Amino acid sequence: MASGLARRLGTGDAVVVGLSAMIGAGVFAAFAPAASAAGRWLPAALALAAVVAYCNATSSARLAARYPESGGTYVYGRRRLGPFWGYLAGWGFVVGKTASCAAMALTFGAYVDPGLARPLAVGAVVALTVLNLFGVQRSTTAARVIVGLVLAVLAAVVAAGLLGDRAPGFATPPALHPVTPWDVLQGAGLLFFAFAGYARIATLGEEVRDPRRTIPLAIPIALGVTLVVYFLVALATLRVLGPARLGVSQAPLVDTVTWAGAAWLAPVVQAGAAVAALGALLALILGVSRTTFAMARERDLPGFLDAVHPSRKVPHRAELAVGVAVVALVLVADLREAIGFSSFGVLAYYAVANASALTLTADEGAPPKAVPVLGVLLCVVLAVTLPAPSVVAGLVVFTVGALVWVLRGRSRRARAR
């Protein structure tokens, strides 16, 4: 059957789409908790997070070429490893990205007004959920405008941080703790949050020219550009704030320009962070609600979520459920907890993606074995080295998900009799 999508995108277009998915609000939020863990080894943690992202994106790209369907690793896991692993991947995506939604909402609030971060976050979630219910989506053009704005803001932060001098009155606080290899791994797990979205390139198989060549080429280019940008931001923030002050900052990039003697840039950075957070939040709510809808259609989540509004043609029940869940998480979690929990869920999701890629044969476009093997290993290692509350909460949520699977399976077998 011929594809219904036009193959209009070249390598440059695919790279821009990847950048728009990666360079967003995560960079405004993840550096502080990562610096609290990794200290001056933040750049090393960043490089390790990029390696994990490359393995995950490469495995996802090969699987997407084999299974050009909506659902991502939820589909790949079901096809390659069995229904349970696909379900577990979908569960990890939904819970992890729901936490990402909360993190983006809290990032918006922290940069607009730290004293009102939580109520502002709740308001943002409610407003964007309502917009989604009316079928308002972030277009590709809007996404590119947002990434352009974010790149301009980050360039200003880097210039101020690397070229400016510390403002009068700055005092460097003592280091929080001696940094160990475990801390660097933890920092990498937290920074993984800032690379979220790279797999968007892997979903372009039906829209790019010569996808077997274009997608594998676009992934490392987009990841490389993102890594360079993030590396420069890390150097700038560390130079101005130092790891201890960076580690406790609520709005690290605003603090960077302020203490670098460019306080006039602070409102620009605040505005850029707010726009980036809202854009990321809108896209995340859309993605989580669609995966929730897909899982409900397969009865891996409650069937009442499998509903499309008759006139607006949106999965309104799934969108409402996601909105309620995000608001609840915003009310009880802080930004750092949301980032850690999100990273745990998404790392588990990509561990299943890499394991699925391991089953591909050469005729099916398998990547070099080292890529998915390293991907599985690093996903597991980074997940278990995250802050203890994130690991415990993640294990509890995944245990609940597994129990739901078992109980629903028994219920289905009972009905079948």
Task: DSSP for 73-115, please give it.
Answer: HHHHHHHHT-HHHHHHHHHHHHHHHHHHHHHHHHHHHHHH-GG
Q: What is the pLDDT of residues 157-178, one digit of tens each?
A: 999 999 987 766 666 666 667 8
Lowest mean pLDDT among 173-182, 258-267, 313-322: 173-182
What is the pLDDT confidence band of residue 106, given thresholds at 50, 70 and 90?
very high
From 201, 144, 209, 202, select the one nearest 5 (Cα to Cα).
209
Q: How many CB atoms lie within 10 A of CB 15?
A: 22
pLDDT at 136: 58
Query: Is 397 or 142 the better-scoring residue by pLDDT?
Result: 397
The predicted pLDDT at position 19 comes to 79
Q: What is the reported pLDDT for 137?
A: 56
Q: What is the per-residue pLDDT for 231?
A: 95
Mean pLDDT (the chain, rounded)? 85
HSE-CB for 166 with a 13 A CA cutoff: 11
Look up the CATH number of domain 11-408: 1.20.1740.10
With bands split at pLDDT 50, 70 and 90, how would you rate the model's confidence at 2? very low
d(CA 368, CA 112): 45
More confidently predicted of 247 and 207? 247
pTM of the predicted model as reported, rounded to 2 decimal places: 0.86
Reply yes or no on whether the pLDDT at 206 is more than 60: no
Residue 4: pLDDT above 60? no
> How do residues 324-374 score in pLDDT, each as one tens digit?
999 999 999 888 889 999 999 999 999 999 999 999 999 998 999 999 999
Query: What pLDDT, on the 0 to 100 scale, is given for residue 3?
Result: 44
Least confident of 89-98, 136-145, 188-197, 278-287: 136-145
Mean pLDDT, range 193-201, rounded to an integer: 76
For the chain, percent of residues with pLDDT exceeding 90? 47
Domain boundaries defined on the chain: 11-408
Q: Which residue has the higher pLDDT, 160 or 417?
A: 160
Of residues 142 and 337, more confidence is placed in 337
CA 43 to chain centre: 19
- Please give the structure tokens belonging to residue 166: 């510390």
Residue 54's H or E segment, with its range, is helix 42-66
